[in-house]
């Protein structure tokens, strides 16, 4: 009877160790998959957001250039006339009120900030992914995990590495 209980306890302990090791491998693999999905989200954000921001900033700059040209023309027209000084000041104030503050430089600063922030988020998500891949791959090489990894279709994952064309800074038409 004691022999049977000891054998049962030993079998239970081996089964428990197997389940713990298997669950740790699965948790590590799922963390790698989640990190890859997070990185994919950042890539999608960059793909969708940056061209829209560039387009908005370029449109704003074009609109501001047109406003500045019109303002210059109106100022020239004011000084060409022989009106009295108070009338000239009244016209200048009217022009000033008609044109709001021009803020293309602030728009470009916001654009630069958004691009930098997006690139930083992407960088952090790539670093996190590579960290989870390193932990997962290392776990598979350690004994006793290596015994279970091969039998449960756990394969090594690849790190995110830049391709040769990705080493160049992207150019955005502004």
List, for residues 67-77, the tens digit of each pLDDT value: 777 766 766 66
Distance CA 150, CA 135 (A): 16
The reported pLDDT for the residue numbered 131 is 92
Residue 39: name the closest of 153, 130, 147, 140 by CA.
130
Render pLDDT for 117-143 as a digit per residue (tens, 0 to 9).
888 888 898 899 999 999 998 888 888
Section 98-113 average pLDDT: 66
Distance CA 111, CA 173 (A): 13
If one counts every other C-beta atom within 10 angstroms of the C-beta of residue 68, the result is 13
Domain ranges for the chain: 46-67+100-160
The reported pLDDT for the residue numbered 99 is 52
- Exposure class string for 83-105: b at 16+ Cβ within 10 A, else e: eeeeeeeebeeeeeeeeeebebe
The reported pLDDT for the residue numbered 134 is 93
Distance CA 34, CA 129 (A): 8
């Amino acid at each position: 009877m004691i022999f049977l209980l000891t054998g049962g306890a030993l079998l239970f302990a081996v089964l428990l160790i197997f389940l713990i090791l298997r669950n740790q491998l699965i948790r590590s693999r799922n963390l790698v998959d989640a990190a890859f999905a997070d990185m994919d989200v950042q890539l999608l954000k960059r793909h969708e957001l940056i061209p829209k921001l560039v387009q908005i900033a370029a449109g704003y700059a074009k609109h501001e250039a047109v406003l500045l040209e019109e303002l210059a023309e109106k100022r020239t027209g004011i000084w060409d006339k022989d009106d009295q000084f108070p009338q000239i000041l009244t016209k200048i104030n009217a022009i000033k009120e008609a044109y709001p503050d021009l803020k293309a430089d602030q728009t470009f600063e916001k654009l630069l900030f958004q691009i930098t922030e997006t690139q930083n988020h992407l960088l952090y998500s790539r670093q996190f992914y590579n960290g989870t891949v390193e932990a997962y791959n290392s776990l598979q090489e350690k004994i006793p995990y290596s015994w279970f990894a091969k039998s449960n279709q756990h394969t090594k994952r690849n790190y995110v590495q830049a391709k040769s064309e990705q080493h160049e800074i992207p150019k955005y038409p502004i």
